[in-house]
Structure 1
């Protein structure tokens, strides 16, 4: 059975729970919650071929980075700001980072592949 426009569906699966609804344009929309983990959520609704446009994921691989699904891939939501002793291992271009061990505010320049002191 397929959802009608505006109809709600609840997935109570422990791995990827969520509240979904169907719209008349993009298909299935995930209203929440945000997936938290080191790997992107990869489950699409039954009868749909991909994640929901606008679906969110808190990537915990290195620095906690919020990513949003744009219909093709999960993209980093700007601006990324972090704080820790030392520097994150997987920075994003333009990321601001406060290195608490050196008391420095840094910005990551992906072109130079380097942290720049601000």
Structure 2
């Protein structure tokens, strides 16, 4: 799931960065997984069934499903890029943006 979740989360990252918002929330998931694996492997094992249930809710039950979802994200990227450019343009033109004042 992390192989799909992280790149999908990057789509949020570019929008947050364009809006001058802190995007570091993306680091929380890998850090939590690492802490569980290192400090509480028994807890990680006990959480595996709900984790698999979350996959099922996302309709991901195989590698092919995961690859299909990755493809959907890839096809979404041009639209995301345009939206990011629109947000960035509005952000830089905002009178409340410190970045916008440097461009004038």
Higher relative contact order (CA 8 A, sep 6+): 2
Larger helix fraction of residues: 2
Query: When the two structures are superposed, what TM-score results if normalisation uses the length of structure 2?
Result: 0.23
Larger strand fraction of residues: 1
Query: When the two structures are superposed, what TM-score results if normalisation uses the length of structure 1?
Result: 0.21
